[in-house]
Amino acid sequence: SADLGSVKRRVNALKNLQVKCAHIEAKFYEEVHELERKYAALYQPLFDKRSDIVKAAYEPTEEECEWKADEEEELTEEMKEKAKVEEEKKDEEKEDPKGIPEFWLTVFKNVDLLSDMLQEHDEPILKHLQDIKVKFSDPGQPMSFSLEFYFEPNEFFTNTLLTKTYKMRSEPDENDPFSFDGPEIMGCTGCTIDWTKGKNITLKTIKKKQKHKGRGTVRTVTKTVPNDSFFNFFTPPDVPESGDLDEDSEAVLAADFEIGHFIRERIVPRAVLYFTGEAIEDDDDDEGEEEGEEENDPDYDPKVGGRAYC
């Protein structure tokens, strides 16, 4: 009937208003990005000092090392005694450690999302990781952020810096404006690792027996094949122009985006609490409360198994 037609027309008008809202929301997130950049500059001196303490470039003063422990943190006398004996044993074995040894490796091992990517052969390399920094794109540039991994000189590769850059889409998609829920990671690029000869753990050689069709003789051939490693993080799958990915690449990228987001949002800002394990307890508490709420959570983005990126 004509009545229904006129109602439908008005609903369409509301949808057009909704599209305009999505574009205003995009502006809001651009300002959020600017604020993040501004505050990143304020946090950075503190993160730099953290890095200096970790790598023994700076020895904190007595005053800086004072910390009032919670009741829970207070060790029982028995535990203290045991720890003292252990320490004395260790002291006899080696001299005082410098800085905070294996700081970032411990952080990685403490977080399930990251430890799942870690292989045993990655660990000796990650002992040389000295800092992770987040860099935001400049104003006026397409929205992105980079993760910078700083390594001390080591026997595995010649790079002292490995980078991973995530490109964001910060505008509503013209074909689907209502799906806009803040900036979303659209793709990422890694970097080339200059491995020392024989140290590239992202590849392994396997021996295969090959039978000659005519002569029936068997020979052994050596093949180089990809190997599981955290360092594959720096060679993500390419997204073709069409945007069509096979299922495997899609799964790899979805996990990659989640990890990149987690490092940026949680690990870099609160590294010490992941080192001690305190942040993990907090995350577990949050998860406990969130179980079953996710579908109703406006920020929950099932595409990446986490919160929408903003």
pLDDT > 70 in the chain, percent: 83
Query: What is the residue whose two structure tokens read 């983005």?
Result: 301
Report the pLDDT averaged over residues 287-309: 44
Question: HEC string of the chain?
Answer: CHHHHHHHHHHHHHHHHHHHHHHHHHHHHHHHHHHHHHHHHHHHHHHHHHHHHHCCCCCCCHHHHCCCCCCCCCCCHHHHHHHHHHHHHHHHHCCCCCCCCCHHHHHHHHCHHHHCCCCHHHHHHHCCEEEEEEEECCCCCCCEEEEEEEECCCCCECCCEEEEEEEEECCCECCEHHHCCCCEEEEEECCCCCECCCCCCCEEEEEEEEECCCCCCEEEEEEEEECCCHHHHHCCCCCCCCCCCCHHHHHHHHHHHHHHHHHHHHHCCCHHHHHHCHHHHHHHHHHHHHCCCHHHCCCEECCCCEECCC
Given a contact cutoff of 8 angstroms between Cβ atoms, the answer to whether 236 and 250 are in contact is: no
Average pLDDT over residues 153-172: 95
Statement: residue 78 has pLDDT above 80: no
Report yes or no: 130 and 149 within 8 Å, Cβ to Cβ. no
Query: In sequence order, which residues have a C-beta less than 8 Å from that of residue 239 and are 6 or more positions away?
Result: 186, 187, 245, 253
Nearest to 149 by CA among 170, 167, 176, 131: 131
Q: What gap in Å lies between CA 200 and CA 297, rounded to an integer?
A: 43
Residue 220 clears pLDDT 60, i.e. is over it: yes
pLDDT tier at 174 (50, 70, 90 boundaries)?
confident
- Architecture category of domain 1-60+99-172+183-199+228-276 in CATH: 2-Layer Sandwich (3.30)
Domain spans of the chain, in order of start: 1-60+99-172+183-199+228-276
Q: pLDDT at position 73, please?
A: 55
Residue 74, pLDDT > 70, answer no
> Taking a C-beta distance cutoff of 8 angstroms, is the pair 206, 222 a contact?
yes
The rounded distance, in Å, linking the Cα atoms of 169 and 205 is 40
| pLDDT higher than threshold 70 for residue 202 | yes
- Region of poorest pLDDT, from 14-23, 95-104, 171-180, 212-221: 212-221
The tens digit of pLDDT for each residue in 229-273 reads: 999 999 998 877 777 778 888 888 999 999 999 999 999 999 999
Name the nearest CA neighbour of 256 among 305, 208, 219, 183: 305
Confidence of residue 102 (pLDDT cuts 50, 70, 90): very high
Give the pairing of strands 129-136 and 161-169. unpaired
**Encoded tokens for 223:** 């093949």
